[in-house]
Amino acid sequence: MNITLCCTDTKIEPWLQGLAAALPHAHISVWQPGAPQADYAVVWAPPQQFLDEQPALRALFNIGAGVDALLKLRMPPGCQIVRIDDGGMAVQMAEYVCHAVVRHFRELDAYEGDMRAGRWGFRRPRVRSEFPVGVMGLGVLGERVARALAHFDFPVNGWSRSPKVVDGVRGFSGAEGFHDFLAASRVLVNLLPLTPDTQDIINRDTLSRLQPGGYVINVARGAHLVEEDLLALIDSGHIAGATLDVFRTEPLPVGHPFWTHPRITATPHTSARTMREESIAQITRKMAAMERGEAVAGTVDPGRGY
């Protein structure tokens, strides 16, 4: 079995060593232009030249959950795309989103400001039932996040393409369920894949349909959010603020209003990081299953876009 690695913005040596340790009989190398044909590739944001030079690849293993960047490229014919499903990301996403929701709900920033100013003061406790949280995308990550939020007794709504039943979560689905889902939610969490159907989905219209005092947590992709619409709705007072981990341009450009906006908390695309050891174990398990002719979880449907 020949495996090639082509991962930009990634420290490649530990991946090479980890894969070699897990698959001692495979031939594994880091791709260079003109390299021999491989059966499988482990990739992150590869250049088009890589795909053009590897027409016989059987599968590409993406070392992240989102495949939007990969699907913009021309794929070798018949090559399957397999993404990381969970691999240690779901628990990170659950802790990040629960932290953001609880921090907002419990007004922890305001309390921190008070304490730093030497003020010992109480705020009226907020009513949990008035903070329904809507999770867009009930896939591997969204379902885990929705379940975790339900443990804190928040009312939780979930929206997916096909109907889903998740304990403690009120389900909505499809375009026909979208407006009802938004109207039932005050906090909006985005865990959709970026596809032609979901690009710009968090916009003025969507945000206006949330309950007053809405709060936005975008942990999926920057291109889901129309940034100027969010700023306008925060200015109007309809949206109380946002926690954003992903941006239309990353790194966030110098001078972008999100850097300093008092109602926006920003983090550098770090809500759920790829865990190398778990991912190597998952990828090698899936390669072995493919070699046996079995279907593997996380295989992307290019027509659907995720």
Q: Does 230 sit near ligand GLV (CB under 6 A)?
A: no
Q: Per CB under 6 A, which of residues 151..170 are in contact with ligand NAP?
A: 159-162, 164
Closest residue (Cβ) to ligand NAP?
139
Mark whether 209 is an active-site residue: no
Q: Does 82 sit near ligand NAP (CB under 6 A)?
A: no
Per-residue tokens: 227: 């940034």
Per-residue tokens: 29: 């190398």
Closest residue (Cβ) to ligand GLV?
64
User: Judged by CB under 6 A, which of 57, 233, 244, 246 binds ligand NAP?
Assistant: 246
Q: Are 78 and 54 in contact (CB under 8 A)?
A: no
Q: Are 48 and 73 in contact (CB under 8 A)?
A: yes
Q: Does 244 sit near ligand NAP (CB under 6 A)?
A: no
Q: Does 219 sit near ligand NAP (CB under 6 A)?
A: yes
User: Judged by CB under 6 A, which of 46, 66, 132, 134 binds ligand NAP?
Assistant: 66
Return the range that interacts with ligand NAP (CB under 6 A); candidates 10-18, 55-63, 139-147, 225-233.
139-147
Mark whether 221 is an active-site residue: yes
User: Judged by CB under 6 A, which of 3, 5, 42, 65 binds ligand GLV?
Assistant: 65
64 vs 132 by CB, closer to ligand GLV: 64
93 vs 287 by CB, closer to ligand GLV: 93
Among ligand NAP, ligand GLV, none, what does residue 278 contact (CB within 5–8 Å per kind)?
none
Q: Does 225 sit near ligand GLV (CB under 6 A)?
A: no
Q: Does 209 sit near ligand NAP (CB under 6 A)?
A: no
Per residue, what are the HEC states of the chain?
CEEEEEECCCCHHHHHHHHHHHCCCCEEEECCCCCCCCCEEEEECCCHHHHHCCCCCCEEEECCCCCCCHHHCCCCCCCEEEECCCCCHHHHHHHHHHHHHHHHHCCHHHHHHHHHCCCCCCCCCCCHHHCCEEEECCCHHHHHHHHHHHHCCCCEEEEECCCCCECCEEEEEHHHHHHHHHHCCCEEEECCCCCCCCCCCECHHHHHHCCCCEEEEECCCHHHECHHHHHHHHHHCCEEEEEECCCCCCCCCCCCHHHCCCCEEECCCCCCCCCHHHHHHHHHHHHHHHHCCCCCCCECCCCCCC
Question: How many residues make contact with ligand GLV (CB under 6 A)?
Answer: 4
Tell me which of 99, 204, 269, 276 is the catalytic residue.
269
Residue 159 and residue 253: Cα distance in Å, rounded? 31
Residue 127 and residue 119: Cα distance in Å, rounded? 24
Tell me which of 147, 170, 186, 221 is the catalytic residue.
221
For residues 248 to 277, the per-residue mask of contacts with ligand GLV, x marking binding by CB under 6 A and - elsewhere, is --------------------------x---
User: Judged by CB under 6 A, which of 66, 132, 137, 214 binds ligand GLV?
Assistant: 66
CB of 13 to ligand GLV, least distance (A): 21
- Catalogue the active-site residues: 221, 269
Q: Which parts of this chain interact with ligand NAP (CB under 6 A)?
A: 65-66, 85, 89, 137-142, 159-162, 164, 191-195, 197-198, 219-221, 245-246, 269, 271-272, 306
Q: Which parts of this chain interact with ligand GLV (CB under 6 A)?
A: 64-66, 274
